[in-house]
Amino acid sequence: MAEKLYIEALREGLREEMLRDENVFIIGEDVGLYGGAFGVTKGLFQEFGENRIIDTPISEAAIAGAAVGAALCGMRPVAEIMFFDFFTIAMDQLVNQGAKNRYMFGGKAKVPMVIRGPMGCGTGAAAQHSQSFPAVFAHFPGLKVVMPSTPYDVKGLIKSAIRDNNPVVFVEHKLLYWTKGEVPEGDYTVPIGKADVKRDGKDITIVAGSIMVPRALEAAQKLEEDGIDVEVIDIRSLKPLDLRTVVSSVKKTGRVLIVEDDPISYGWGAEVAAGIAGSEAFDYLDAPIKRLAGLDIPIPYNPNLEKHAVPQVPNIIEAVREVLK
């Protein structure tokens, strides 16, 4: 199997879906000739032309609104928002229109759209271009939220997202774009709503998402040297949330650490923790459920401070040791 970059796997998924279904098109700022701010759509304009790769003015509300309208009319738009931070501008169209139409029309309307973009800090882009808040969207009924962490998953999940008849918020992390992994040629999908055990272990379960998955795996590898056997679950979808996989892992290990990129307050980790505490895994918990997440602060511009704002590998190792004490 060929090793590919996350960004290449994502592009490959988009391209294959556009070849498969002529209703699929891409809309966003600089997605055309320029190939997108991070280069996700590079080369697609040349292949599919201006009718299927559509550049827009700088208005995320317009991008999201146009995507909702096109989806209602039978198209399958993929809207790119340049930075996840700007999802707030697209939010009204997404939450008050996209998420609601299918329900308010008694199931007669479908909104098969994807809205995607990069979140996260680590590039020195400061407070307005570095945020992670996918859990916000998981709060709204009618939206699905996924955040793949590997090249394999990003290709499989973009396909599932495009083929889904509901609006899917598709969250990438800037630092993942240039990570490598094995990606099969041709068509395959990864189901929405299914977590993935990325590493088997018996001493503790780490539940992580997006960029925190490779960090948790790195921490697990280091902890293995001390004889600590860590299981790493990639939550992959925030909505629907796959608690079953988490619960059966916690029943096995009896200990759990949840690692998030978002600010800790009201994050998705709290949802997972509550799910575990209320499940049959409760009687197997041998230590309190622990959460490790971003600090409750806007992301600092200073690169040293920026690093301390979200969990890094040493923080994960330290948290695991604490749970295992």
Partner 1 sequence: MATIVKMPKLGTTMTEGTIIKWLKSEGDPVKKGEIYVEIQTDKVNIEDEAETSGVLRKIIAKEGETVKVGDPIAIIAEEDEELPDLENVDNISTQNQEKSPQVFQQEDKTEAVKQTISDKIKASPAAKRVARENQIDLSNVIPSGPNGRIVERDVLSYIQEHKVKATPVAKKIAIERQVDLKAIQKSPGQRITKQDLEDQIIQDVDNAVDNTIPVIGMRKIIADSMTYSKKVAPHIYLSLEVDMSKVIDLRERLIPLVQAQHDVKLSYNHILIKAAATALRLNPLINSSFTEEKIILKQHINIGLAVALKDGLIVPVIKDADKKGLAFIAKETEELVQKAKSKKLLPDEYQGGTFTITNLGMFDIESFCAIINQPETAILAVGKIIKKPVVIDEEITIKPMMNLTLSCDHRAIDGAVGAKFLQNLKQILEEPVNMLL
Active-site residues: which are they?
129
**Which stretches of the chain bind partner 1, using CB under 8 A?**
251, 254, 280, 282-287, 325
Least Å distance, CB 281 to partner 1, is 8
Within a 13 Å sphere around the CA of 58, how many CA atoms are in the beta-carbon half? 3
Cβ nearer to partner 1, comparing 108 with 325: 325
Cβ nearer to partner 1, comparing 211 with 230: 230
DSSP, collapsed to helix, strand or coil, labels residue 9 as helix
Cβ nearer to partner 1, comparing 277 with 313: 277
Smallest CA-to-CA distance from 289 within 301, 303, 277 is with 277
d(CA 170, CA 137): 10
Which two tokens mark 162? 């495009």
Amino acid letter, 296 = D
Amino acid letter, 150 = T
Least Å distance, CB 251 to partner 1, is 6
Cβ nearer to partner 1, comparing 237 with 279: 279
Cβ nearer to partner 1, comparing 103 with 282: 282
For residue 20, give Cα distances in angstroms to 67, 152, 157. 19, 19, 16
Is residue 256 within 8 Å of 230, Cβ to Cβ? no
Amino acid letter, 82 = M
The CA dihedral of 174, 175, 178, 183, to the nearest 10 degrees, is -90
Least Å distance, CB 259 to partner 1, is 20
Smallest CA-to-CA distance from 169 within 102, 104, 109, 111 is with 111
Least Å distance, CB 275 to partner 1, is 15
Smallest CA-to-CA distance from 225 within 320, 96, 116, 88 is with 320
C-alpha radius of gyration, the chain, whole number: 19
Least Å distance, CB 177 to partner 1, is 40
Least Å distance, CB 322 to partner 1, is 9
Tally of residues, the chain:
325
Residue with tokens 């008694």: 106
d(CA 219, CA 215): 6
Cβ nearer to partner 1, comparing 264 with 287: 287
Residue 256 bridge partners (DSSP): 205
